[in-house]
Structure 1
Amino acid sequence: MATVSGDTIAQSDVLEDLSSAVNYRRWLCSLGLPHFGDDVLELGSGLGDYAAEWADQGVRVTASEADPGRLESLEKRFSSDPRVEVRELGVPIRDTGNYSTVVAYNVLEHIHDQAEALASVRRLLRPGGAVVLIVPAFEFAMSAFDRRIGHHRRYRKASLTRVLTEAGLTVEHCHYVNGPGLLAWYLVCKLLRGRPREGLLLSWYDRLYVPVQRRIEARLRTPFGQSLFAVARTPMDDSEVSE
């Protein structure tokens, strides 16, 4: 059985602290946007910052959460916003669907049985639908903080490509994001045993570093990064899923 684990209070604290990293969030949102279709489901929407950003870009999005506290926050945030639907959705996912896209930013690493999770995600998609992922990269950067918030693993391109392919998906894109950010994560979270926090350092990072690195990586793929971005698709004839 696929399960999502971790200290949910710590997870929510980090989400709140990172809400102020506007440029970083817009960078990650811009990566997924070109691969979205007309009906997008976000898994593990947290506080709804990504969903709100995509809605501002004209995306029809359904935000979902399994954690009761974060689900309540989503419902309050989007109660008067017709652009965003909110639904409760936990792992393992028993539902089927006809979404054009399922997007999950920093979710897959929380799920113990990633194979079952991807199989259930596939059942939520129409034939030719897209899975859009961001996951943390490189096992050597695994920290006590990673484990506290429920990370079972970090990924390399080969390992993420393999698990997506084994789930019957065709990988279209898989590349590292935020090259120097990996070194910052290793220093702060692994060596100093800290965690990302709102404050002067995060503000400087978001305002000065992120716009520059975003422009660099728009032109040049780095051989390493803090995260991995991937897009994979279901077969156009996915009849075996709906049987």
Structure 2
Amino acid sequence: MAEITGDQRVQSEVLEGLATAVNHRRWFVELAVPYLGDNPIEIGSGLGDYALEWAEYAPRFTATEADPDRLVRLKERLADQPKIDVREMLLPHSERGDYSAAVSYNVLEHIEDHVLALSSMRELVRPGGAVVIIVPAFQFAMSPADIATGHVRRYTKKTLAAAMTEAGLTVEKIHYANALGLLGYFMATKVFRLMPKEGPMVKIYDTLVLPATKTVEQVARPPFGQSVFAVARVPA
């Protein structure tokens, strides 16, 4: 069974730092909302920031985590949310389910056998339901920060679509997101070798730059981005 790789402490520090990027999270929350349905499951909920926002759009929501320590923290944080179920989940697995959608942000890049992981997500979702994915884009941006947090690859639209298709999914939508974020990430982590943690740079970008980036990209999809966003369907 493939587990998420990398330093779990560093991963948690990065998650805590990026939790302050409120505008970024709200943008990416909105991307998935049309595909959630009535009973979605999130694969790799981390500290629960996305789960709390997505749960507002569904009668039931399931949050999952693979790391035992983060799972304890996730359960504690979501204990007062009666509509959110919290459980442990590792990918890949052999479980079958009837969820309306599986959504997984910035998880697939940690897993060696990503096709098998996507196949596991497909088995959790009812026919016609969606598998919604965000992953980091472009291998040239692989940095010490990626390695420290356990990334084994970064993606293009082509490579992510190929993996989803091989996993038996039908790609419905795929595009890059956050073009300026890629440039900022490359300079910060590859050139200056910084970790993407809480600080002035994250706050300035999230407050001043990201809203304009989002507005532009809602009109015209960029040819590159910090992330790849994809929606695929489970065949009926």
The two structures have a TM-score, normalised by structure 1, of 0.94
The one-letter amino acid of 2:84's match is V
Corresponding letter in the other structure for 2:94: R
Match of 2:191?
A: 191
Asked if the contact 2:3/2:66 (under 8 Å) is kept, the reply is no
Residue matched to 1:212:
212
Corresponding residue number in structure 1 for 2:135: 135
Most deviating of 57-66 and 141-150: 57-66
Q: How far has the Cα of 1:91 moved from its partner?
A: 2.0
* Rounded Cα–Cα distance in structure 2 between residues aligned with 1:59 and 1:6: 34
Shift of 1:118: 1.2
Contact 1:141 1:190 in 2 (8 A): yes
Q: Residue 65 of structure 1 corresponds to which residue in structure 2?
A: 65
Shift of 1:59: 5.7
CA distance in 2, matches of 1:58, 1:130: 14
Match of 1:13, SS state, is helix
Instruction: Name the CA distance, whole Å, in 2 between partners of 1:20 and 1:90.
Output: 27
CA offset digits 1:2-36 (Å, max 9, x no partner): 33211111000000111111111000000011111
Structure 2 gap segments, 5+ residues each: none
What secondary structure sits across from 1:100 in the alignment?
strand
1:89 aligns to 2:84 (yes or no) = no
Is the 2:40–2:58 contact (alpha carbons within 8 Å) kept by the matching residues of 1?
Answer: no
**Conserved? CA contact 1:177–1:225, under 8 Å:** yes
Cα distance in 1 for partners of 2:203, 2:192 equals: 20
Alignment TM-score, normalising by the size of structure 2: 0.97
Secondary structure in structure 2 of the residue aligned to 1:176? strand
Q: Which runs of 5+ in 1 are unaligned?
A: 237-243
Q: Note if 1:110 corresponds to 2:110.
A: yes
For 2:217 and 2:35, how far apart are their aligned partners in 1? Answer: 18
**Matched residues, percent identical?**
53
Give the C-alpha shift of residue 60 in structure 1: 2.7
Q: Give the Cα separation in 2 of the matches to 1:228 and 1:150.
A: 18
**Equivalence map 1:28-177=2 (5 Å):** 28-58=28-58, 60-177=60-177
**Shift in Å, 1:58:** 4.5
What is the CA-CA distance between 1:176 and the residue it aligns to?
0.2
SS at match of 2:103: strand
Give SS of 1:109's match: helix
Matched residue SS, 1:215:
helix
In 2, distance between residues paired with 1:158 and 1:59?
34
Q: Secondary structure at the match of 1:53?
A: helix
Structure 1 window deviating more from structure 2 (48-57 vs 176-185): it is 48-57
1:94 Cα deviation (Å)?
2.7
CA–CA distance in 1 between the matches of 2:166 and 2:151? 21
